[in-house]
Amino acid sequence: MTKALGIAVCACLVPCILCAVEASNRYRSPRNPERKIRQSTELIVLHTTEAPARSSLNKLSERGEAHFCVTEEGAVYRIVDRDREAFHAGRSMWNGKEDVDKFSIGIECVGYHDKPMPSVQLNAIRDLVAELKTMYRLNDSQVVCHSHVAYGAPNKWQKKNHRGRKRCGMLFAMPSVRSQLGLKTKPKIDRDVQAKRLTVGDDYLRKVLYGNVDTMRQYYASAPAKPAPKEEPKSGIFSWFRSSAKPSAPKTSSKPKTVAGTFKAPPQSLAELKAQGFKQVGVVTKEVTASKLVGARWNRADTYYTIRNKVIPGNTINPSKIEIGMAIWIKK
Ligand SMILES: [Zn+2]
């Protein structure tokens, strides 16, 4: 199809009889009849598609992987009927209960876990979440992101079942973004980690979910509905995916912080790595794994892998693609 998504959206938005938020049935999943009616609803789980709208909608619909999908334009699509189970949470646990699909609603938001979303989209998510909260009598802390509930099985980097398999929807744990969504509280503690059912496999993610890390603060004032700035800051690691105007300067005097503590462009070459003060700590071999070299820092945004002149940040590297001969760089 070559028609712009925007045109398609306008043509097929139909009001839902039961709710105030208008949702389109254009991508309603053919999987609906085979999905069980959900017995309870204890969480709303927010995801980021990590892909553009059209391909995401097609995939979500085909596989029945969410209840709703909200595009960057703020259009809401119904995928799986909200009283049925959608397969959105994957391997998941919350308060000792596995298979979060059985007791949650999943909302996919077109965008990326570490990039700000346009305010029109956040407004649509806010309205949808508000409506579902009322419908299922949920409080703000029952609105979580996929990272809150996903966990990973033991692998060669993690010996135990661990929180930190996915960074999906991670921005929705940040207070600045939650305030845009009208959410005042968030889960205070990971009860599965506390009870030692899971260990922490991604310390940066833990800080986002339960600590003070909020890399979106610079983009959103505390009041909801402030228009998102539109241009990619040349020096920023957060690139705006649709834009042309300069982002408004942060209101506070402090500089926006990244994981590395400064708001520099991520290094693209060995020379830039060195210029920014990164030191090579070693090279991955058959015996020496990345976690042997840098421990829990292996998947952090301020850890870099280099091979054949490529520079790959740790937070984007696929563990299965870490290869022998890769050098690892960190700031000590
Ligand atoms: Zn997800």
For residues 176 and 276, state if they share a domain: no
Q: Tell me if 92 is assigned to some domain.
A: yes
Model pTM score: 0.65
For residues 194 and 275, state if they share a domain: no
Last residue within a domain, chosen from 159, 185, 210:
210
Q: Tell me if 236 is assigned to some domain.
A: no
Distance CA 72, CA 118 (A): 6
Distance CA 162, CA 237 (A): 27
Does residue 236 carry a pLDDT above 70?
no
The domain total for the chain is 2
Does residue 9 carry a pLDDT above 70?
no
Distance of CA 88 from the midpoint of ligand 1 (Å): 6
Distance of CA 247 from the midpoint of ligand 1 (Å): 28
**Cα 283 to chain center, whole Å?**
30
For residues 32 and 108, state if they share a domain: yes
Return the pLDDT at 264. 55
Last residue within a domain, chosen from 210, 243, 261:
210
Does residue 10 carry a pLDDT above 60?
no
Structural domain that includes position 89: 12-210
Query: Could you tell me the pLDDT band of residue 249, with boundaries at 50, 70 and 90?
Result: very low
Q: How far, in Å, are 48, 103, 106, 133 from residue 85 at the CA level?
A: 19, 8, 9, 17
Distance CA 27, CA 41 (A): 23
41: domain CATH number? Answer: 3.40.80.10
Strand partners, 84: 37
More confident residue, 320 or 263: 320
Distance of CA 325 from the midpoint of ligand 1 (Å): 32
Q: Encode pLDDT of 213-224 as tens digits.
A: 999 999 986 555
Q: Tell me if 250 is assigned to some domain.
A: no
Distance of CA 89 from the midpoint of ligand 1 (Å): 6
What is the rounded average pLDDT for all residues in the chain? 83
Ligand 1 ion local residues (Cβ < 5 A): 47, 146, 168
